[in-house]
Structure 1
């Protein structure tokens, strides 16, 4: 189905669901956007490349781009404030779920023109969405995926984990199991500071298809155990036949670190720079 028809289909669907003239999805210059209150949501597709063959793209990670409804970029604080409400703040659960679903629909529609049969798309899901939905996680979005001509196995549910959520890991695991039972893949995402004992236990229990590690702050971390912990992470993921990913690589140092520690996939501006020879495998 052409992209414009899909946009109209999902607008019609939301109009019926909410019994209101709510038509949030628009298309401009062959890109899909979604309006939510006073903000406009767009997508950026970040290629996931094989570490030892950088020219080979294994899939994409969807990155949200948020602007004001009139097109002005929001400040980092304004953008982040949408995603950092306390876990206890349940009054906005429905808004969180609605925003999460709208964002993933925008990403899915923008992914279609470059999708291939076996490619993978990582779509982040707000942990509060998983906590807010009590059962049948993924059922609503499965209908969207099928309408777009793809299957749930093409989608990895990305979950950013930090220490704040440690006490609700059992509830998050229950939600992740529901996604996995519907054929979705799962991608757990960490930064170095959240890579503690409970994180390794969560990985072991969830058996995710992918475990992603942010390269942010790695250059400034003074921890003699850093190589050991990263290597331990990669070995654990490998033992479960999963795929380890290092995200946000901007320089040669972290590209080399990813290769030396055994990460399977890499992502970052370093690999997309025009000066980088994707045919060359020398890091």
Structure 2
């Protein structure tokens, strides 16, 4: 099936791509897709985002797992940094997004959202943000509004670049998430101006609230402020049952973290495994 899908992509994207996808993407025996680039093996894992008192999965955040061969894991951040330094970041990012999309389609239903992280280096090197990926989505008959593009607000000193990228993605129909909110130099002004669909609170806030009464009192107010601004708050980094209890009390509709489900991928058993993990938290 993978080769058929990749062949379709090659045919429909011929005028926009400098390379064929089948140079980099292939199908594993398990049925999932994998990739390779400059000696690195690329795989997708997904972490669900839960809503409605943990009864519903609204989508999945795609995360990259990289290794040299199949036995030597390498941090994905190192791989991105290496490719950023040596050139080829735009093509590498395109390969990763397409890899995640193909795997997402194996595990998701037609209502699920795909959350994709954007490398900060791309924001200054691409003018028409999302144009190629929009065409990739169309070639696979996937609505653009099922994809949520995640930005780290603290990743750029010049917020005007971030705002331009957000505007470009939003004009094409993508949803927007501002991630790691509360980390480093968070700007409330940026929240008003960007008006993201989702705001993912930095995991350090929840961790701090477990040990600091002042942070624990403020957390529901931060969630309320985000909601009043027109965004949905996502509490991420929920790693223990105690943190889960606290996250449930703060008023956020959406939760994500190891206590609910670890990032994983297994075509036959992915949802069954997450359902079993979730039942232990109920």
- Specify the TM-score bucket, using the shorter chain as the normaliser: 0.7 to 0.9
- 1:210 Cα deviation from its structure 2 partner: 0.5
Mapped partners of 2:222, 2:48: distance in 1? 22
- Corresponding position: 1:8 with 2:10: no
**1:74 aligns to what SS in structure 2?**
strand
TM-score by length of structure 1 reads: 0.82
Matched residues in 2 for 1:19 and 1:95: separation?
12
SS of 1:269's partner is: coil
Whether 1:112 aligns to 2:105 is yes
The TM-score normalised by the length of structure 2 is 0.82
Q: Look up the match of 2:132.
A: 140
Gaps of 5+ in 1: none
For the pair 1:213 / 2:201, whether they are aligned, the reply is yes
Q: Give the structure 1 partner of residue 279 of structure 2.
A: 277
String of CA shifts for 1:15-50, please: whole Å, max 9, x gaps: 983368971001102111121111121111211111
User: Who is 1:38 aligned against?
Assistant: 39
Partner Cα separation in structure 2 for residue 80 and residue 253 of structure 1: 30
CA deviation string 1:65-124 (max 9, x = no partner): 1111x2123244xx3223457xxx9865x5221111111100000011223232211011
Q: Quote the RMSD (CA, aligned, Å).
A: 2.9
Rate the CA distance shift 1:216–1:6 in 2: closer, same or farther, 3 A: farther
| Cα distance in 2, alignment partners of residues 21 and 179 from structure 1 | 23
Residues in 2 aligned to 1:27 and 1:245: alpha-carbon distance in whole angstroms: 33
Give the Cα separation in 2 of the matches to 1:266 and 1:168.
Answer: 30
**What SS is found at the alignment partner of 2:142?**
coil
Residues in 2 aligned to 1:130 and 1:55: alpha-carbon distance in whole angstroms: 36
Gaps of 5+ in 2: 262-273
Residue 187 of structure 2 is aligned to residue 185 of structure 1: no
Q: Could you tell me how far apart the structure 2 residues matched to 1:21 and 1:58 are?
A: 29
1:82 matched to 2:82? The reply is: no
Does 2:91 correspond to 1:56?
no
* C-alpha displacement of 1:229: 4.7
Aligned CA distance change for structure 1 residues 11 and 225 (closer, same or farther; 3 Å)? farther
Q: Kindly indicate whether residue 233 of structure 2 is the aligned counterpart of residue 244 of structure 1.
A: yes
User: Retained in 2: the 8 A contact 1:25–1:33?
Assistant: yes
CA distance in 1, matches of 2:55, 2:32: 25
